[in-house]
Amino acid sequence: MKVLVTGAAGFIGGQLCHALWKRGDTVVGIDNFSYGNLDNLRFEDHDFGPDVLRMDIRDREKLPELFEKERFDVVYNIAGIAPLPDCQSDPVEAVSVNTLGLVNLLELCRRHGVKHLVQASTNAMYENETEFPTVEDKFNAPTLIYPSTKYCAEQFCRSFAETYNMNVTCLRFANVYGPHIDCLRKQPPFVGYMIRELYYGRVPEFHSDGNQRRDYIYVDDLIDLALRVTGRPGFDAVNVSSNQSYSVRELYATASRLMGKDIPAKYCETSHYWAKYPELYGGAYGIRPEILDHEVNKFSLCDNTHAKQLYGWTPQVSIEEGLARVIEAECAMLAARDAAGAQA
Ligand SMILES: NC(=O)c1ccc[n+]([C@@H]2O[C@H](COP(=O)([O-])OP(=O)(O)OC[C@H]3O[C@@H](n4cnc5c(N)ncnc54)[C@H](O)[C@@H]3O)[C@@H](O)[C@H]2O)c1
C-alpha cells in the first residue's frame, strides 16, 4: 500500500511511519516542522529524515501535485497543533491547522480516490462529559479551543464520509506516552515533563492536589489500532484508550521508583497552570479561573469496547512497562543532548 503520513516528524507520526514501513508499505511523510524534529524520524533500522517532505497540510498548490503523483491508498492525518495553551493563545492558527488543514486533505482524498483517511482526534473533546467510562457516540460538546478544533474536524470527516461514500476513521487518542514524547516544548506533556525534572534532580511543579486522574495509552498500542482500522467502510469514531486511569501522584511515584529518585513534588495553584502564556490571563477578557480549574482537575476515562469488538484490538503495554521504556529513551536523549552542550 502507498500511505501518506502527515505530521511525520512528530512524536506519533514518526513512529507510525516506522510501523507502516516495517509492515512493507510505501510511506510518504510530510511535516512543516513547526513542532516536529528529525530525531523523531531516526530509527535503528531506518532513517526517514532525508525523505520527509517539508510541506504544510494547508498547502493548496504542492499538496494536490503530491496526491496526483503518488496516488495514495491511505492517508493518516497526524499533523496538528497539540498543546492546549498554544491553541488557546492562537485560535486562528489552531483552527487553520487542526480543522481547515484536515478539510484540505479530505477534499484531496475525495478527488484522488484515496481509499481511507484516518484522523488523529482526541479524547480532550470529552472535557465536559460526566459519564465514565465515556463512549464514543454520547458526550457533551467541548469548550476549549483545541478540542473544539478537533470536534469540528470530526464533523467534516463525517460530512465527507456520508456525502461521498468515503471511508474515514477518527481515532480519539487518550493521553499518549512513549519514547520520543516531547519533553522540551514550552508546555511539555505531563509524562515527558515529570521524567525530565526527575532526570535533572529538580522539583517538578504540578497543579492542584495531584489526585486528578486521566487515562493513558502507550504509543505502540495506539499504532497497532491505527493499522487495523483501514479496512472498515464508512465513518467511524474510535476511542484509543487503556480504559484505566492514573493520578498524577501515582504516575510520579512510579516514575520516581523506576528512576531511583526521591524528590517531593510541588503542588501549585491552578491559576498558575498556563503561567507561560500570560496573554491568556490578560486582554479585555481573561481566561475564566473555573475553566482552568476544570481543565486541571478533569477526570478522563474512555471506554475501549468499540475498538476491542470491531477491530480485535487489546492494549498490550502496562503503565509500568510503558513508563520504563519512556524513561530509558528520554534519559538517553537528554544525556546525549547535554553531552552536545544544549540547555534544557
Ligand atoms: N500526544 C497526545 O497525547 C495526543 C492526544 C490526543 C490527540 N493527539 C493528536 O495526535 C496528533 C499527533 O500528536 P503528537 O503528540 O505526535 O504531536 P507532535 O506535535 O509531536 O506532532 C505533530 C506534528 O505535526 C506537525 N505539524 C503541525 N502543523 C502542521 C501543518 N500545518 N502541516 C504539516 N505538519 C504540521 C508538527 O510539526 C509535528 O511534527 C496531533 O494531531 C494531536 O492533536 C495527540
**How many angstroms separate the Cα of 331 from the Cα of each of 19, 199, 334?**
23, 7, 5
C-alpha of residue 77 to centroid of ligand 1, in Å: 9
Closest C-alpha residue for ligand 1 atom 7: 122
SS3 (DSSP) at 293: helix
Beta bridge partners of 169: 118, 236
Burial degree of 280 (CB within 10 A; 0-12, 13-18, 19+): middle
Q: Which residues contact 207 (CB under 8 A, 6 or more apart)?
A: 267, 268, 269, 270, 272, 273, 296
Which residue bears the cell 496526491? 67
Does the pTM of the predicted model rise above 0.75?
A: yes
User: For atom 10 of ligand 1, which residue has the closest CA?
Assistant: 120
3-state secondary structure of 275: coil
Ligand 1 neighbours (beta carbon < 6 A): 6-7, 9-13, 31-36, 56-58, 78-82, 97, 101, 120, 122, 173, 175-176, 182, 189
Cα of 120 vs centre of ligand 1, distance in Å, is 8
- CA 287 to ligand 1 center in whole angstroms: 24
Distance 264 CA to ligand 1 centre (A): 32
Give whole-number Cα distances, 140 to 95, 120, 136, 269, in Å: 20, 20, 11, 27
Among 3.90.25, 3.40.50, 1.10.10, 1.10.760, what is the CATH number of 190-210+247-299+324-339? 3.90.25
What does the domain layout of the chain look like in residue ranges? 2-178+215-245+300-317, 190-210+247-299+324-339
Which residues are bridge partners to 5 per DSSP?
Answer: 29, 76
Grid cell in block for residue 265: 513534588
- Per DSSP, 42 falls in state B
CA distance 126 to 135: 10
d(CA 301, CA 239): 10
What is the position in ligand 1's atom list of the atom closest to the CA of 123? 6
CA dist., res. 184 & res. 344, Å (int): 7
C-alpha torsion 241→108→3→220, nearest 10: -10
What is the chain's pLDDT, residue by residue, as a tens digit (344 residues)? 999 999 999 999 999 999 999 999 999 999 999 999 999 999 999 999 999 999 999 999 999 999 999 999 999 999 999 999 999 999 999 999 999 999 999 999 999 999 999 999 999 999 999 999 999 998 999 999 999 999 999 999 999 999 999 999 999 999 999 999 999 999 999 999 999 999 999 999 999 999 999 999 999 999 999 999 999 999 999 999 999 999 999 999 999 999 999 999 999 999 889 999 999 998 999 999 999 999 999 999 999 999 999 999 999 999 999 999 999 999 999 999 999 986 55
Q: How far apart are CA 98 and CA 149, in angstroms?
A: 6
Q: String of b and e for 92-124 (b: at least 16 CB within 10 Å)?
A: eebbbbbbbbbbbbbbbbeeeebebbbbbbbbb
Residue whose CA is at the smallest distance from ligand 1 atom 30: 56
**Ligand 1: residue whose CA is nearest its atom 1:** 176
Cis peptide before 133 (omega within 30 of 0): yes
Check whether domain 2-178+215-245+300-317 has CATH 3.40.50.300, yes or no:
no
* Residues facing 180 on adjacent strands: none
Q: Kindly state the DSSP code that residue 7 receives in the 8-state scheme.
A: T
CB of 160 closer than 8 Å to CB of 166: yes
Q: How far does CA 102 lie from the centroid of its chain? A: 15
- b vs e for 183-212, b when ≥16 Cβ sit within 10 Å of the residue's Cβ? bbeebbbbbbbbbbbbbeeeebebbbeeeb
- Of 4, 16, 31, 117, the residue with max ligand 1 atoms within 8 A of its CB, to mutate for a pocket test, comes to 31
What pLDDT sits at residue 271? 86
**How far out from the chain centre does Cα 12 lie?**
7
